[in-house]
Amino acid sequence: MRSSRQPAALGALAAVVLVLATGTAPAAAVRTEDKVPVAVGTGGAVATVDAEATAAGLQVLRRGGNAVDAAVAAAATLGVTEPYSAGIGGGGFFVYFDAATGQVHTIDGRETAPLTMGPDAFVEDGAPIPFGEAVTSGLSAGVPGTPATWATALERWGTMNLRQALHPAIAVARRGFVVDQTFADQTAANADRFAAFTSTAELFLPGGAPPEVGSVFRNRDLADTYRLIAKDGVQALYTGELAQEIVDTVQSPPTVPGTTLTVRPGLMQLGDLAAYTAPLREPTHVSYRGLDVYGMAPPSSGGSTVGEALNILETVDVGALSRTQALHHYLEASALAFADRNRYVGDSDVVDVPLGELLSDDFAAERACLIGEAAAPKPVPAGSPDGEYAPCDPAPAGPGTDAGDGEGLSTTHLTTADRWGNVVAYTLTIESTGGNGIVVPDRGFLLNNELTDFNFTDGQGGADPNLPGPGKRPRSSMAPTIVLDDGRPVLAVGTPGGSTIITTVLQVLVNRLDLGMTLPEAIAAPRATQRNTASVQAEPTFPRTDLEALGHTFADNPEIGAATGIELTPDGFVAAAEPVRRGGGSAGVVDAG
């Protein structure tokens, strides 16, 4: 803080020097946006984890843009304000309801492995590489899919071009944003590995330390990178000058001389970037209590696992059960669906995923037979989605595993809707908090470590669907979801959280559709996640006593997910985000009711 005796001009000069040297500035230098977790109104809605991103989406809607335009603008802004969660160095899944056609479309923006990557890429001397070493490496970086996702979405369904959609994010990157506790904590948690790379330390550790809460963080390198993409299109990243810089960073990570970290080079080449596409895929679809639930197909396991669990739950009237039995059925259905997810789901362009059978009512009925009054021993074995389903028989013996993915708090989810009835649910990520820890020099963004979502070794006797492979997309748990009622969108939701994404989305849906909660209540309610493991991970306030009496065991998890959602009602929109988790989220509407 400037001394009261310091001349104003000198203080202003000091602030300029601070900005130029470190990228930070006094908080008074920028505007601040308040986080409001619930908003009700008309004209359109946006819900994200960040007030700046929500404001960017609303700005686009107010200027006549649609839900797709707003989603890209909000996502690009999250690349500035949530750089450890998302950005052009990562990927994601985009689910879109088109009001004009009544159709749900999805874009697969998942990262791909280099074409030279084989199934033993993460094995050395017959043993898997230590996971932490694999994360912080060039080896873990997949070909980014986020820029191609934005371009595809805008070209097909948007009303704005990429330059217009990136404008709010460029402004935030240049003027800066106020550092909150979450950003400061995430920087501090990554400080040791960030300090190992010259480019990362320069950007995120100004003066050798994390930015202080209340200071302003500016990322003019990213503003310039966004300007390049706005001018030249996303091919600047896939075939232009930026492509070469990404490859150089992956193959020769810019480590600080003398670092003690083991940082392996990666395999990515220019041809891998040039070959990247973000294809449209058919969404997953199940009917749940008269509603149509759409999600993301493989390589995501989100749509298939949420869908299978809903089909299992639909075999009983969850709303008529006691609260204990309702939660018991939710946990058991989750475990069963996860057993099948781990056994069968991978990149469907490479492996044969029996998606139709996994989402069939008959398979769900066979799996539901295994839910009794008490908890089954975990892990439960996978089922046989072979089209031949018997009445309730005892489960066959066999192991099950939790092959959880690494998209944790690094992932983020946003939801948008516009006055015409278009809706977007978009989950994007760079995987671990801070991705692989490596900033592309002078470009302002981190690379992902998505390839650590592959299983490093085959634990299924040659049947593992999620081993690395050339051009392959690692299995994801991201589960952006849109629910329709008689062809009309009524709900869109999603969350970060690694493999807990699936259970969080499922629990929010059960809370809202079965247990009578409002959308804000469904998001705020205490969570538990059962991913076919011996113990249920649960937040501290999740009710346990009666479930423990049924044989469930619990392990503490302080925070699960950070959901956002929008409900469409006859009167307008209810936009909802977290009131507390991850520092609280931000919801907004164009015209408040």
The residues annotated as belonging to the active site are 411
Question: What's 207's DSSP letter?
Answer: G
210 Cβ neighbours under 8 A, 6+ residues apart: 184, 187, 188, 191, 204
Collapsing DSSP to helix, strand or coil, 547 comes out as helix
Collapsing DSSP to helix, strand or coil, 406 comes out as coil
Whether 474 and 297 have beta carbons less than 8 Å apart is answered as no
Sign of the torsion formed by the C-alpha atoms of 211, 216, 221 and 225: positive
Beta strands in 36-174 (DSSP E): 38-48, 91-98, 103-109, 123-124, 127-128
Kind plus residue range of the DSSP H or E element containing 556: strand 554-556
Give the Cα-Cα-Cα angle 208, 213, 217 (nearest 5 degrees): 65
SS (H, E, C) 274-332: HCCCCCEECCEEEEECCEEEEECCCCECHHHHHHHHHHHHCCCCHHHCCHHHHHHHHHH
Question: Which two three-digit tokens encode residue 542?
Answer: 């999740």
Question: Which two three-digit tokens encode residue 195?
Answer: 């300090």
Collapsing DSSP to helix, strand or coil, 31 comes out as coil
Question: Which two three-digit tokens encode residue 273?
Answer: 């970037």
Collapsing DSSP to helix, strand or coil, 202 comes out as helix
3-state DSSP: the chain helix, strand, coil percent, rounded to 5? 35, 20, 45
241 Cβ neighbours under 8 A, 6+ residues apart: 228
Q: Which residues pair with 123 in a beta bridge?
A: 128
**240: exposed, middle or buried (Cβ count in 10 Å: 0-12, 13-18, 19+):** middle
Whether 277 and 214 have beta carbons less than 8 Å apart is answered as no
Residue 580's φ and ψ, nearest 5 degrees, are -130, -50
